[in-house]
Amino acid sequence: MAGKEVAVLLLLAVLGCGSGEKVLVWPADNSHWLNMEHILQELVARGHEVTVLLPSCFLIVNPTQPSPFQFEVIEVPITKKEMSDFMDKMFYFFFNEDRKIPIWKSTYKIAQMVLQMKNITKIICDGVVKNEALMERLRASAFNVLLADPLFPSGELVAEKLGIPFVYTFRFSMGNTVERICGTLPAPPSYVPTTLTSLTDRMTFWQRLKNILGYALHDFVFHYVLWTSWDQYYSEVLGRPTTLCETMGKAEIWLIRTYWDFEFPRPFLPNFEFVGGLHCQPAKPLPKEMEEFVQSSGEHGVIIFTLGSMVHSLSDEKSNVIAKALSQLPQKVLWRYKGKKPETLGSNTRIFDWIPQNDLLGHPLTKAFITHGGTNGLYEAIYHGIPMVGIPMFADQHDNLVHMVAKGAAVQVDFNTMKTQDLVDALNTVIYNSTYKENALKLSKIQHDQPVKPLDRAVFWIEFVMRHKGAKHLRPAAHHLTWYQYHSLDVLAFLFTCTATIVFILFKCCLCCCRRCGRIAKRKKE
Ligand SMILES: *[C@@H]1O[C@H](CO)[C@@H](O)[C@H](O)[C@H]1NC(C)=O
Ligand SMILES: *[C@@H]1O[C@H](CO)[C@@H](O)[C@H](O)[C@H]1NC(C)=O
């Protein structure tokens, strides 16, 4: 065969043409969907059929609009309005919190919010597993794999009930509990920091103590607050005694949305794949008007500013503090914001409803990115090598920015105590102190220099699971051990007992000998 033909055949094999397998999707809303969508589009491009299980209260997708995916709408008695109100409530809950509250308090508050979310999740889950007609339809479709975002449970339950393998894709769970406890991902607390502690991989004695307590607290909340009632629910639905964690632990592959440009080096398992930045692409040209505005900045360049898709408006006071800071800079600023126009808005700042964030971050005139620290935006900044000013608000955002600050590519500003000068200083630091730009470029090089692109790796593993009906050869035997077996506590206890027995016997023997010697010596003296 000629080289060319071989190449074409290889290409066909790689693209999986003609295989046309069926993928069922259990998505999570908002930014989580935006990331997953890239994987789904790639699956469709490779000839697979993608069906998304979409609750009728899902906000970011409208199933009636044309789409490359098919939708199975789960009718639930929650309206989109109720859902978005709940999201806003959750957002303001975190938004108005003092950032310096102790970890136990923040964990408790987050647990409260998740309990409410649990009720909603249960309603949605009921809408699938207790809807016989829908389940029958799904069974008849004979899906090859289910791709789930485990932000909230249920995806794995649907997969188990349908008897198909499933793959997870997400950034992390609170305290890494799902990965650690259910996925048996090793996390030595001496150098793998847990979430919400703002710790890095270099810890002092007291920080390591804090980290261990952080893990313990997360485990407690996981076992006794968040997931308790799910065990019973899962057992009922599957008709055999099981737990949520056992079911989650059956995930064939875990696609984690970070990479070693972002993560601190840590141990991981062969069924964990780090695919952060899979949505990043080279910048496309900007709309004409926007390009003109960017070009008008001249040598000073532009700053991109967004606090994410969930921040619709700020208080007047805050928006004026921010606008005033921006107005003092020589750069032009593009601010994505839907709230009221601040009075102190400078002539160098323009407000947009929406911005092509990736294209702007990839523009040669872009000097800095002001971000809330969501993973999607962070990765676009890493990809294009743009230094950041982080204003974290909630969820994983603090944690994300701790990584970026530790890697020297970002400066963090506290949203609640922020003054105009703080923001000006932070921006001047990342723009005029060249170490931030250099570090951002270093991360960018790590992101670009990979043997296989993250999106291709993600899709490869999903296709692998479809071809082989799972990836059981990657599954560690840790899943079959109890916690004391896992830590070898039973073996240690046995060894300790043996040692103690031997020491005791030796001690007794010595004592005996000594006494006998003593007696002989005494007799000799006499
Ligand atoms: C969740 O649902 C249960 C039972 O329906 C109810 O008693 C509880 O108040 C709900 N909790 C929240 C936080 O909405
Ligand atoms: C630039 O920032 C680095 C890291 O924070 C710091 O060590 C260095 O002193 C700064 N350089 C200048 C010129 O301020």
Q: What is the pLDDT of residues 239-250, one digit of tens each?
A: 999 999 999 999
Mutate to test the pocket of ligand 1, among 119, 121, 230, 233 (most ligand atoms within 8 A of CB): 119
| Ligand 1 centroid to residue 218 C-alpha, Å | 22
Cβ of 434 closer than 6 Å to ligand 2, yes or no, is no
C-alpha 112 – ligand 1 centre gap (Å): 11
DSSP for residue 193 = P
Q: How confident is the model at residue 19 (pLDDT cuts 50, 70, 90)?
A: low
242 alpha-carbon distance from chain centroid: 26
Span 504-509, average pLDDT: 93
Note the pLDDT of residue 517: 82
**Going from the N-terminus, what domains does the chain have, and what CATH number goes with each?**
22-278+458-475 (3.40.50.2000), 288-448 (3.40.50.2000)
CB of 115 closer than 6 A to ligand 1?
Answer: yes
Arithmetic mean of pLDDT, 365-393? 94
In the three-class reduction of DSSP (H, G, I as helix; E, B as strand; rest coil), residue 315 is classed as coil
Q: Give the span between the Cα atoms of 267 and 185, in whole angstroms.
A: 8
Full DSSP string of 357-377: HHHHHTSTTEEEEEE---HHH
Secondary structure (DSSP) of 505-522:
HHHHHHHHHHHHHHHHHH
Whose Cα sits closest to atom 2 in ligand 1? 119
CA pair distance 307, 35, nearest whole angstrom: 17
112 lines ligand 1 (CB under 6 A): no
Query: What tens digit of pLDDT does each residue of 480-493 get?
Result: 999 999 999 999 99
Interval between CA 231 and ligand 1 midpoint (Å) = 17
Q: Phi first, then psi: what are they for 254, rounded to 5°?
A: -115, 110
> What's 343's DSSP letter?
T
Cα angle vertex 170, ends 209, 354, to 5°?
110
433 lines ligand 2 (CB under 6 A): yes
116 lines ligand 1 (CB under 6 A): yes
Nearest residue CA, atom 12 of ligand 2?
433
pLDDT in tens, 410-432: 999 998 888 999 999 999 999 99
Tens of pLDDT, residues 132-149: 999 999 999 999 999 999
Q: What is the pLDDT of residue 8?
A: 46
**What spacing in Å lies between the alpha carbon of 153 and ligand 1's midpoint?**
17
Confidence at residue 9, expressed as pLDDT on a 0 to 100 scale: 44
- Hey, whose CA ends up nearest to atom 3 of ligand 2? 435
* Ligand 2: nearest atom to the Cα of 434: 1
Name the pLDDT band for 397 (thresholds 50, 70, 90).
Answer: confident
At residue 351, the pLDDT reads 93
Q: What does the pLDDT look like over 445-482, one tens digit per residue?
A: 999 999 999 999 999 999 999 999 999 999 999 999 99
Q: What is the mean pLDDT of residues 304-319?
A: 81
Q: What is the pLDDT of residue 44?
A: 96
Most ligand 2 atoms within 8 A of CB, residue of 433, 434, 436, 437 to mutate: 433
Q: How many CB atoms lie within 10 A of CB 134?
A: 18
| Residue 435 in contact with ligand 2 by CB distance below 6 A | yes
pLDDT score recorded for residue 92: 66
Specify burial of residue 265 (Cβ count, 10 A radius: 0-12, 13-18, 19+).
exposed
89 lines ligand 1 (CB under 6 A): no
Residue 290's φ and ψ, nearest 5 degrees, are -65, -40
Query: Percentage of residues in the chain with pLDDT exceeding 90?
Result: 67
pLDDT in tens, 491-501: 999 999 999 99
- 375-384 and 434-448 helices cross at what angle (nearest 10)? 100
**Averaged pLDDT, 175-181:** 88
